[in-house]
């Protein structure tokens, strides 16, 4: 079989084999650290009280760190502070001249940005670990999670969690440099797929006990497969803008004259709009839990949330569309694209170089971003509504956010593996067309 042959070829290339084994080894180290408890926390009591946090910001965070947040392990914060610092610097890069200058300085500028990202990670880790300590000492769910609260516990927790986050960041950087794939993305990837065995076991037990029928399980499986296929198409969808480079004579040599294209992705923003939108909408419910006696808090928990009255879903879709446009505008600047094309003698056939080219690219981006934003809203809302309507709680773990991350990271990693194989004249995973990851 071609797939089996391609998998065998992966281990015939010494460098690729070494990179894959190195990545798997660091995965094992990370998964081991996810089960080391933080000092001073009753993990069993926290796990019992955390069942009430499923629809809150803490529940969303727990998904990205593989359940370490609800178990209060040394990797409870996971890689999220690093991602937050990266997003903040990316957004600031569009408005702060110094950061924008660093971004244009090539490799040296990127090194400085990476260093600033690490400093930002430490700062965000300290802030989040303090907030985590306050949350644990507040006895969530009315359960005593920290038997001996106080300054000693808070200091120990902040040092432990910040150190754990820095170590996870180091693991991710080592995977990117010496392993295969993007290390930061792969850490989130294994956190999400790490819950699949538990979901499968819970599904089997539910079928045996009669809580779920085989027809329900089959329907949920079909919807999940269709959603994965839809996300693959969305992730690989591109709009190719043709570019022609003029011929130039330098000395006795002729350069240029080539035809290429600019691949504008339908989903340039990736999963970021869903994360931003869900975080903002979940925040009121999360805050309301800290004021259970308040009339406003009780009204928010009763009337504002998923599957209550439809308002939450409408706002969710609108926020996703807004953040898709916002983040696309941050990471992709039509003026920069047009300027780079003009600098190297490139032009779009029928469009004047310079301002007209930037306006044309912006117009195309606006149209395809709308399609991508609507598709993101469908991925985020429709499957979850289906599982809720037909009472399939076990399948709700395969929501749009999780599937987008898993599919995107898998395509990126397969693209790198395929590049190694094709470079050494081995068959890749796809014969007729190349695998396109998010950065393909």
Q: What is the DSSP string of 222-272?
A: HHHHHHHHHHHHHHH-EEEEEEEEPPEEETTEEE---EEEEEEETTSSTTH
Residue 120 pLDDT grade (very low, low, confident, very high; cuts 50, 70, 90): very high
Tell me which of 11 and 360 has the higher pLDDT: 360
> Could you tell me if 82 and 169 are in contact, meaning their C-beta atoms sit under 8 angstroms apart?
yes
391-425 tens-digit pLDDT: 666 566 566 778 888 888 888 888 888 777 777 66
Residue 227's alpha-carbon distances to 5, 283, 376, 404, in angstroms, are 28, 27, 11, 10
In 3D space, the residue among 388, 374, 397 whose CA is nearest the CA of residue 317 turns out to be: 374
Domains and CATH numbers, the chain: 1-194 (1.10.3370.10), 214-398 (1.10.3370.10)
Q: Which of 69-78, 236-245, 251-260, 269-278 has the lowest mean pLDDT?
A: 251-260
Please tell me the distance from the alpha carbon of residue 298 to that of residue 287, in angstroms, as a whole number.
11
Output phi, psi for 73, to 5 deg: -85, 175
* Residue 158, SS3 per DSSP: helix
Mean pLDDT of the region 367-386: 87
Tokens representing 190 are 């294994």
State yes or no: pLDDT of 55 exceeds 70: no
Instruction: Characterise 242 by phi-psi region: left (phi > 0), alpha (psi -120 to 50), beta (else).
Output: beta
Tell me which of 116 and 387 has the higher pLDDT: 116
Residue 440 pLDDT grade (very low, low, confident, very high; cuts 50, 70, 90): very low
Report CA Rg, the chain.
24
Tokens representing 25 are 């080894």
Residue 254's alpha-carbon distances to 44, 258, 348, in angstroms, are 72, 11, 21
């Amino acid at each position: 079989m071609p797939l089996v042959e391609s998998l065998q070829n992966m281990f015939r290339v010494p460098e690729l084999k070494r990179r894959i084994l190195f990545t798997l080894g660091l995965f094992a180290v990370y998964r081991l650290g996810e089960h080391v408890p933080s000092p001073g926390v009753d993990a069993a009591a926290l796990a019992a009280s955390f069942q009430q946090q499923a629809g809150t910001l803490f529940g969303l965070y727990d998904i990205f760190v593989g359940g370490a947040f609800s178990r209060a392990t040394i990797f409870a914060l996971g890689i999220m502070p690093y991602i937050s610092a990266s997003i903040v610097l990316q957004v600031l890069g569009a408005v702060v001249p110094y950061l924008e200058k660093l971004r244009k300085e090539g490799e040296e500028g990127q090194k400085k940005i990476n260093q600033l990202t690490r400093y930002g990670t430490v700062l965000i880790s300290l802030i989040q670990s303090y907030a985590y300590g306050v949350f644990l000492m507040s006895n969530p769910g009315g359960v005593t999670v920290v038997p001996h609260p106080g300054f000693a516990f808070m200091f120990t927790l902040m040092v432990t969690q910040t150190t754990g986050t820095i170590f996870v960041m180091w693991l991710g950087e080592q995977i990117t440099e010496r392993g295969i794939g993007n290390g930061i993305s792969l850490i989130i990837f294994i956190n999400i797929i790490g819950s699949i065995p538990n979901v499968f076991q819970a599904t089997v037990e539910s079928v045996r006990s009669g809580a779920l029928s085989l027809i329900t399980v089959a329907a949920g499986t079909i919807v999940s497969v269709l959603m994965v296929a839809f996300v693959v198409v969305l992730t690989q969808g591109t709009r190719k803008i043709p570019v022609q480079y003029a011929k130039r004579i330098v000395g006795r040599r002729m350069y240029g004259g080539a035809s290429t294209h600019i691949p504008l992705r339908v989903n340039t923003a990736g999963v970021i709009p869903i994360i931003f939108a869900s975080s903002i909408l979940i925040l009121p419910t999360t805050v309301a839990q800290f004021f259970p006696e308040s009339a406003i808090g009780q009204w928010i928990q009763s009337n504002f949330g998923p599957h209550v009255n439809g308002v939450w879903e409408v706002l969710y879709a609108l926020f996703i569309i807004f953040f898709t446009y916002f983040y696309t505008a941050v990471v992709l600047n039509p003026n920069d694209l047009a300027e780079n094309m003009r600098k190297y003698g490139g032009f779009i056939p029928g469009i004047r170089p310079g301002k007209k080219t930037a306006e044309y690219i912006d117009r195309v981006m606006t149209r395809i971003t709308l399609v991508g934003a609507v598709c993101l809203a469908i991925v985020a809302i429709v499957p979850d509504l289906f599982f809720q309507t037909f009472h399939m709680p076990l399948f709700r773990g395969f929501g749009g956010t999780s599937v987008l991350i898993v599919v995107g990271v898998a395509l990126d990693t397969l693209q790198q593996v395929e590049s190694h194989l094709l470079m050494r004249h081995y068959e890749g995973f796809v014969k007729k067309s190349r695998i396109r990851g998010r950065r393909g």
